[in-house]
Structure formats: structure tokens, C-alpha cells
């Protein structure tokens, strides 16, 4: 029996366990298949996260990371623990994921020699979507620190769309030669496929078209605009169902409150489904998938919708526009515009043949752009 330890070790540093499990687990499993010993440093919000991480043979190192905290003391504690874990493990690769983690982790790993650092931006967060005075001040404050965090030839900055990359390269934060562009984490094309999934219970009236918004209940996801569009279309007499598949996120400052969630159905006629475990089944039931977000990295939910062969209505903003060729597999509308959103959804509700044709085009787009196997392979090339 060969008890020799793997010669290569990768450390993923992520903000929270559930995000790693939903967005980076397939990547980590493929890294293991290629001989890497996989470790994960992250915050943990619920006990089931620990169990699932352990079940996949991944060694967990818990961080006291508070996603919504702007505390300097908490940031220093997180940085100290990341440095300790890196120093103890001496991984060949440190893969940092998400804005805050890239900043804090980059600051403590940038000087480590003979180590590949992948700084993956999964989106730029509310300080880049908000145009208020506080957000503009925060952007001006953090950009010089990102320049420091991303310094060094061993560091490659991984972006999911060209717009996000331009934010950093145009300001001289990181040279373009040390960046790469990969459209998200992809989707398992065999799991998300066109057609009804046998045995999936209809959550609404199966005789009515179902319009689904698959996202957390955050303002920046366009939940309010979706609700206003739904109310307008229902009032106009459209026999459609509207649902949001996602939970609130108390750690996020833009999360909907319990009272606001209750009002979605009472005042707008929108079903708040909460977390949906069988998202493939829900998408198979949907007629239209909608995400009126203010900005994204590359929304996995829309890649899944495309793979499921669904017409998509989303906003013409960074990240979202990567998933739609306007007029071919869906429609792009301005952000924060409930009327334009309603008009685009209405065009699809009125024309079943258009929905069918756009669904076929969505599946073709997913096969071209979002095949999980291809995107994982490209990401693992960065580890060399």
C-alpha cells in the first residue's frame, strides 16, 4: 500500500463554506483527482457546511471571517490566521476567492516565494454597484490596497468578465499580462438539460407559465424590480406565476427583511420559495428565467438557466450580459428599470414559439461558453 503523501497541496481561501460548496467544489474535486491535497480556509455559518466539506475529503481550517464586518480588528485576525495556515501548510497554490478574501489574503501571501497565488474575483460587490458617496469613498480607499495585494509575478488575477478586469487594469492596480478571463465556474451540462425532469412536483399551477428569479433575496439582485414587474403583469391580466428561489442573507447589507419577504407575495403576487435544493428541477419547470441584477461576476444561476434551455431576461450590466445575446436567447434590459423588465417578460409570455426558439439558443450558448469541464481545466492550468 502506498502511503506517500501528495507532493502538491492547494489551499482555497473563501469567505464562507456554503459558497465554496456551491461554486468551487467541482473545481476542488478535480484538483484532488489530479493529485492535489486540498485544504479550505473559510468562515462557517452553519454546521452542515463542516459535514459536507469533510465528506468530500477536504481539510477545513475555520476563519473568523465576518462577511458584513468592516472591523479592522476582525480583518487583522483573519489575515493573521490565513498567514498561519499558509505558513504551516506551505501549499504550492493559494487560490483566493471573492473580493474581501482577495484583499486580505493577498496582503499576507504576496511575498511568499515559489508559490502560485490565484486571486479570483467572483464579482465586485456592493461597493462597486452603489454610486452613493460612501461607496465611492470606499472604492477610493481600497484600490491602493488591492494594488499591494496583487503585487508579485507569482500572482495571477482571475476575472469572470472583461468589465471587472478593466476596473483593475485601467487604474494600474494589476497589469493585464498578469490577469486572465474565465467565464465563471461553469455548469454540469448533463445535470442541467432541456425538458421536464421526471418526478418534479409543480410548485405552482402547472397550466401557467412560470417566471423564476434564482438568487438570494438581495436588493442588488433586482428583487424589488422583479416584484414590481410581476405586479404590473399580473394587473395586466397575464396568467403567469412569479417566484424567487433563494434565501435572504443577513450578512449582506442589501438583504431583504422578513417583513419585506412577506410583502412579496401579499403585495406583489410573487412566491418567495426560499432555498431550493433541486434547482435543476425548478428550472425545468420554468418558462422564463430572470435576473435583473445590478452587477455580477458571472452568475452561475444564468449559466444553469441557459443549460436548461430557457429564455433569459437579465440586465445589460457586467456579468449578466455574458449570458445573453440580445434577441437571440433572451433580452437585455437596463438595470433598475422595472418597466423595461416587465415589457421584456411580457414579450415572452405572449409568444410561446419565441420562448421555445430562445430556449434552444440558450442551450447552444451554454454548450459553447459554460461547460464546467472546460472551465475547470482552464482554471487548473493556472496552478502550474
Distance between CA atoms of residues 176 and 42, nearest Å: 28
CB neighbours of residue 284 within 10 Å:
19
Alpha carbon distance 179, 64 (integer Å): 29
CATH homologous superfamily of domain 210-369?
Glycogen Phosphorylase B; (3.40.50.2000)
Please tell me the distance from the alpha carbon of residue 244 to that of residue 242, in angstroms, as a whole number.
7
Name the segment(s) of the chain with CATH classification 3.40.50.2000.
8-181, 210-369
- CATH architecture of structural domain 8-181: 3-Layer(aba) Sandwich (3.40)
pTM of the model: 0.86
Inter-CA distances, 325 with 182, 185, 254, 299, 370, Å:
18, 20, 29, 15, 14
Q: Give me the tens of pLDDT residue by residue for the chain, a chain 384 residues long.
A: 444 444 699 999 999 999 999 999 999 999 999 999 999 999 998 899 999 999 999 999 999 877 666 678 888 899 999 999 999 999 999 999 999 999 999 998 866 666 899 999 987 876 676 666 777 777 778 888 999 999 988 899 999 999 999 989 998 999 999 999 999 889 999 999 887 544 344 455 667 899 999 999 999 999 999 999 999 999 999 989 999 999 998 878 889 999 999 999 899 999 999 989 899 999 999 999 999 999 898 999 999 999 999 999 999 999 999 999 999 999 999 999 999 999 999 999 999 999 999 999 999 999 999 999 999 999 999 998
H-state helical runs in 130-176: 133-149, 162-169
Q: What is residue 129's predicted lDDT score, i.e. its pLDDT?
A: 64
The whole-angstrom separation of Cα 108 and Cα 40 is: 16
d(CA 85, CA 20): 18
CA angle at 168 for the pair 331 and 336, rounded to the nearest 5°: 30
Q: From CA 374, how far away is CA 370, in angstroms rounded?
A: 8
Report in angstroms the alpha-carbon separations of 383 from 34, 42, 131: 11, 20, 36
Return the percent helix, strand and coil in the chain, to nearest 5. 45, 20, 35
User: Which stretches does DSSP call E strand in the chain?
Assistant: 8-16, 36-43, 59-62, 93-97, 116-120, 155-159, 179-181, 210-214, 241-245, 270-274, 288-291, 312-315, 330-333
Amino acid at each position: 500500500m502506498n502511503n506517500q503523501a501528495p507532493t502538491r497541496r492547494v489551499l482555497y481561501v473563501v469567505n464562507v463554506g456554503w459558497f465554496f460548496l456551491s461554486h468551487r467544489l467541482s473545481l476542488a474535486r478535480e484538483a484532488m483527482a489530479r493529485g492535489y491535497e486540498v485544504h479550505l480556509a473559510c468562515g462557517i455559518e452553519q454546521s452542515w457546511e463542516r459535514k459536507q466539506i469533510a465528506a468530500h475529503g477536504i481539510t477545513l481550517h475555520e476563519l473568523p471571517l465576518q462577511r458584513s464586518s468592516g472591523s479592522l480588528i476582525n480583518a487583522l485576525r483573519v489575515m493573521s490566521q490565513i498567514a498561519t495556515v499558509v505558513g504551516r501548510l506551505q501549499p504550492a497554490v493559494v487560490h483566493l476567492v471573492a473580493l474581501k478574501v482577495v484583499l486580505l489574503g493577498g496582503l499576507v501571501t504576496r511575498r511568499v516565494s515559489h508559490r502560485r497565488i490565484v486571486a479570483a474575483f467572483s464579482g465586485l460587490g456592493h461597493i462597486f454597484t452603489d454610486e452613493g458617496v460612501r461607496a465611492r469613498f470606499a472604492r477610493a480607499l481600497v484600490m491602493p490596497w488591492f494594488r499591494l495585494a496583487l503585487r508579485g509575478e507569482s500572482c495571477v488575477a482571475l476575472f469572470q468578465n472583461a468589465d471587472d478586469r478593466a476596473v483593475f487594469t485601467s487604474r494600474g492596480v494589476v497589469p493585464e499580462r498578469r490577469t486572465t478571463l474565465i467565464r465563471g465556474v461553469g455548469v454540469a451540462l448533463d445535470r442541467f438539460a432541456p425538458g421536464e425532469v421526471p418526478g418534479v412536483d409543480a410548485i405552482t399551477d402547472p397550466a401557467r407559465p412560470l417566471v423564476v428569479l434564482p438568487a438570494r433575496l438581495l436588493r442588488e439582485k433586482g428583487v424589488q424590480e422583479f416584484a414590481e414587474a410581476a405586479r404590473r403583469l399580473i394587473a395586466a391580466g397575464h396568467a403567469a406565476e412569479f417566484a424567487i428561489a433563494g434565501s435572504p442573507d443577513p450578512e449582506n447589507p442589501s438583504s431583504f427583511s422578513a417583513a419585506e419577504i412577506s410583502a412579496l407575495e401579499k403585495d406583489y403576487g410573487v412566491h418567495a420559495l426560499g432555498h431550493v435544493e433541486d434547482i435543476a428541477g425548478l428550472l425545468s419547470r420554468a418558462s422564463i428565467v430572470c435576473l435583473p441584477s445590478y452587477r455580477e461576476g458571472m452568475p452561475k444561476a444564468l449559466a444553469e438557466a441557459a443549460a436548461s434551455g430557457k429564455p433569459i431576461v437579465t440586465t445589460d450590466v457586467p456579468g449578466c450580459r455574458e449570458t445573453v445575446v440580445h434577441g437571440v436567447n433572451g433580452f437585455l434590459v437596463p438595470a433598475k428599470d422595472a418597466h423595461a423588465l416587465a415589457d421584456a417578460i411580457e414579450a415572452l409570455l405572449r409568444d410561446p414559439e419565441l420562448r421555445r426558439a430562445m430556449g434552444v439558443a440558450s442551450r447552444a450558448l451554454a454548450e459553447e461558453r459554460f461547460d464546467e469541464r472546460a472551465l475547470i481545466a482552464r482554471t487548473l492550468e493556472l496552478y502550474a
